[in-house]
Structure 1
Amino acid sequence: MSRALWDQLKAKQSAFLRTRLVSEQAARDFRTSLPAGWAALLATPLGDLTDPAALNRALDAALQGPSASRAIRPAATAILSPLIEAARKEPSRAGEFLPTEAHAKLRRLAARPKILSEKLVRQVLESEAMDEVMTDILSSMLRDFSHRVNPLVAEWGLPSLLKRISLFGLGKGLEAVRAEFERRLDPEIFSFLRSSSRKALRETSDALVQRAAQPKHVALRQHLATWLLEQRIAELLDALDDEGAALAQELLVDALNHGLSRKDLAERRRAAILAFYIEHRTHPVGDVLARHGITFEPDFDALAGALWPLVRAACESAPVQAWLETIVAEFFDGLPDDLT
């Protein structure tokens, strides 16, 4: 057989493969082969599918360094931006995003006495800002109480007496005494409240922590959980204006980027992958999944519909087409010239 004929056969074979691999028949073959392919995958030992060192190198390259800044950060921004904007306009109630049975689980979670962090409670209540608020509240209450019951300032006390004796010329002197008393009293009240408010806040923190398991405190947390589920998402985020939304988005992206760049977390991830591989490398993939409670069979129609366009696009691409021609050429060029 002449070399010219080999070249014709080679060209026909290449053309056939290019057409056949992206044809409707290929799409049907792809769908038909998926169940057997899935079964073969489940029967394959995990160790035959990957190498932990290679997998970790690939993840390092994808999640750290230039790749993260050029791909992950823009991708996260593109995803978060519409999500945050949609959440700010979402009319649904928070509870609608949870199944009904999950509402009861949330109430049970809220009932747990340790659900509130003691450190967080103390950081909030024993802060300087709360101390200032408590001082102002107690000061206002003491002044109100004083104006009602203190005989020097209450309407039924000295002021009433001053009105009666002013005709005898004694009113101005007593009025001066009262004014001087109030002038000296205010600093004393403030000094007293500065220490008392701190004590009150500490005692409030202690009470919230120590009484967390008491029925009224449990009922309060459950009430707050129920109230939260009844609120509309847009109303919960009403205080988040455009600038706040942008800052929240940047914060989330920064946190993701920082988490991916941390060397200690990367080391933990590498160690976890290696440990998982060592533990399961000799077991079939199906057994590994079952050990972790994952037992399902894909919807092969849906899977084929999602994957076939990607497979077809890859087969139609110039690099794959060139590779196919190379494979065909290697086959025909390897045949002996005297083959008949």
Structure 2
Amino acid sequence: MAYDAVLLVSFGGPERPEDVLPFLTNVTRGRGVPPERLAEVAEHYQHFGGVSPINQQNRELLAALRGEFAEHGLDLPLYWGNRNWHPMLADTVAQMRDDGIRSALAFVTSAYGGYSSCRQYQEDLALARSAVGSTAPVIDKLRQFWDHPGFVRPHADAVRDALATLGPTGPDTTRLVFTAHSVPTSMAATAGPEGGRYEAQLRETAALVAAAAGTDLPYDLVWQSRSGPPQVPWLAPDINDHLAALAADGIGKVVVSPIGFVSDHLEVVWDLDTEAADTAKRLGLDYVRAATPGTDPRFVTMIRELVEERLTPAGAGVAADRCRLGTLPAWDFCPAGCCVPARRR
């Protein structure tokens, strides 16, 4: 298929204090999140003036992509739409239609498979197109990129830089901890035809980042940012519980690498830079949080390369021959029924 635009699709976030609760209502609609949990999370945003960093980070990424596309002769206009806050996807798709766009490639700011990290974005794109109507452009999502060198290597360099700030380290004193957003265990167990895609991809990314960072320190994959009813099991352990366990085992230095994220948005600057950092301080741990890719030139180049993959005739098939470091299965187009949690079947 010929494509005539690229759409950046992201989570979205409030940019004024009065936007916080409406935004959170959009995020949690239909999930049974208790009102007291919403109020607690709203307070996290108010700690930063009611503004999430994510929209500005997406503006910066768009600017970097425009420069990257121009430098490499990729003559495709760039658009931006969010799942949960302005600019909303339906409004952006309507603008694309008005601009005469017929078919577009969507880059989603989530590297992994799974329902909330991939399938839900596909559903949101379908809903946006439905809202616009029969004249809406066709929109195809680019493949997952958990093992692309443009994602792995910026994370690895950030880990190396963070370790360098800790002075002498060793396996008996120092631990590398990778984090990602927790999800319900029922969702994680059914994240693909073969099951468990989200966690499996994260574990592969953790191994790739540790190897690329050149460290032989032991490492763990743990979870953060859980929400939802307390009686529903989610992936564990939580980062704060894990820090306590490490301190009890005599570990004194910890580097936390948020491989589940592409930029330093609120779930990084609050859950890791505030809550987890406070936990580490209370436990007497030397704690450093490694950076995310953000607008690292390698990450920006990766997005261009993902677009170019799909502009070639070979881009319609299995992505086994693409620029990858891992060995887990990858697809340009997700199989039907992929990553639909059991509760939705």
- Shorter-chain TM-score tier: under 0.3
Greater share of helix: 1
Q: Given the two structures, how large is their TM-score scaled by the length of structure 2?
A: 0.19
Rg bigger for which structure? Answer: 1
Q: How does the TM-score come out when normalised to structure 1?
A: 0.19
The structure showing larger relative contact order (alpha-carbon pairs under 8 Å, at least 6 residues apart) is 1
